[in-house]
Chain A
Amino acid sequence: MDVWSTLFPAGMAHYVMGGLLIGSGVSVLFIFTGRVGGMSGVFSAVWSYVSRVPYFQQAQFTATRRWRLLYALGLIIGAAVWLLLNRAETVTTQIPWWQLAVGGFIGGYGARLGNGCTSGHGICGLASLNWYSVLAVLVFLATAIVTAHIVSALGGA
């Protein structure tokens, strides 16, 4: 087996194409509206509709919640269009629910504390040549790789 099929056993084209499309989405948002399109912000911004906690009533959430929700709606529409065009079988993850729940909670807390996730720091931050984001990406890749190996060693999915 050559090196490429060892590194990328599922092929490379769909990864590259998908990445270019994701970058295009972030770019269209920026060029048309001037907005920086990370994804974790919506998880804080929606609380501004229902919570009086002062943190959520800051302008960074109240002034952005509308477009962040529309952006999330677009994400769902885009994935649904992909499903229809490919007449693909819906994929259902086999990851146990407790891993989804615990990982989602810790990940959601951490992304908001660190002010960004794989899209906010990983795509937008790196594209802004922001050094905090470079550090953030190196840190979360490192802890994610270590954690995934530990979960695997403990018999997790």
Chain B
Amino acid sequence: MSRRVLSGIMVVVSGALFGFGLALSTMIKPEVVLDFLRFTDFGLLLVLGGAVTVALLAYQMAPRLLKRALLNENFAQRPTATLKTTLIGSALFGVGWGICGVCPGPAIAGLGAGNWPLAIVVVAMLLGAYVQGRFARVN
């Protein structure tokens, strides 16, 4: 099997673990997310805490133990943005999240579990991302 195919398979597998986790933790139900934002069920913090704990181990240990990723690619860093756009963008993201109770992962995963109205969110997010890119400055 070529490395490209194997890499593609591992990407799908990681996405599937992610999507299964989102469904199991009921994060694909906007109602549960809004319950957290309104302080009636703090479960979202357990989801975030559990996910960060595992990812923290991988992100901190892997580059120390391995020269390169197992499929022979360099370990990437998250791309950097300026502090100003990070803060303004995050503030707006929170407003949108607070209105609908859906963020990008659950919007996509929800479709796999048959929560069809989330397709509205996916389309709306695509349009939001288009407007952002259309008017962004490119260096």
* Interface residues of A, Cβ cutoff 8 Å to B: 7-10, 12, 14-40, 42-44, 46-47, 51, 53-56, 58, 60, 66-67, 70-83, 88, 90-95, 97, 99-130, 132-133, 135-137, 139-152, 156-157
CA distance A13 to B23 in the complex (A): 13
A150 nearest CB neighbor, chain B only: B98
Give the interface centre of B34, B49, B55, B80 by most chain A CB atoms within 10 Å: B55
Contact string against A for B residues 113-133, beta-carbon threshold 8 Å, 1 for contact and 0 otherwise: 111111011111111111111
Contacts A93-B29, A140-B97 given; indicate if A73 touches B117 (C-beta within 8 A): no
Task: Mark B residues whose CB is within 8 Å of A.
Answer: 7-8, 10-32, 34, 37-44, 46-60, 62, 66, 68-71, 73-81, 83, 85-105, 107-118, 120-134, 136, 138
The answer to whether A31 touches B62, judged by C-beta atoms less than 8 angstroms apart, is: yes
In the complex, are the beta carbons of A14 and B25 less than 8 A apart?
yes
Whole-angstrom distance between the Cβ of A121 and the nearest chain B Cβ: 7
* B30–A95 touching, CB < 8 Å: yes
Task: Determine if B78 and A79 form an interchain contact, defined as CB atoms under 8 angstroms apart.
Answer: no
In contact, B54 and A27 (Cβ under 8 angstroms): yes
> With A19-B21, A33-B69, A34-B68 in contact, do A97 and B120 touch (Cβ < 8 Å)?
yes
In the complex, A36 Cα to B58 Cα: how many Å? 11
Q: Which of B18, B66, B102, B117 contacts A26 (CB 8 A)?
A: B18
10 A-B residue pairs with Cβ-Cβ distance under 8 Å, sorted by A, are A15-B47, A19-B21, A25-B18, A39-B105, A51-B130, A77-B15, A77-B112, A105-B125, A114-B90, A128-B77
Q: Which chain B residue shows the least CB distance to A9?
A: B41
- Is the beta-carbon distance between A104 and B22 smaller than 8 angstroms? no
B81 CB to nearest chain A CB (Å): 4
- A104 with B125: in contact, given A78-B21, A127-B55 (CB under 8 Å)? yes
Given contacts A18-B47, A22-B47, A107-B96, contact A119 B69 (CB under 8 A): no
Known interface pairs A27-B57, A91-B28, A103-B98. Does A75 touch B18 (Cβ–Cβ under 8 Å)?
yes
Check A56 against B112 for contact (C-beta < 8 Å): no
- In the bound complex, how far is the Cα of B128 from the Cα of A32, in angstroms? 31
Q: Which 8 A-B pairs have the closest CB atoms?
A: A74-B15, A114-B89, A18-B25, A19-B50, A103-B100, A107-B96, A78-B19, A23-B54
Of B39, B46, B49, B117, the most chain A CB neighbours within 10 A belong to: B46
In the complex, which residues of chain B have a beta carbon less than 8 angstroms from the beta carbon of A146?
Answer: 98
Q: How far is the CB of B116 from the nearest CB of chain A, in Å?
A: 7
Most buried by A among B8, B47, B114: B47
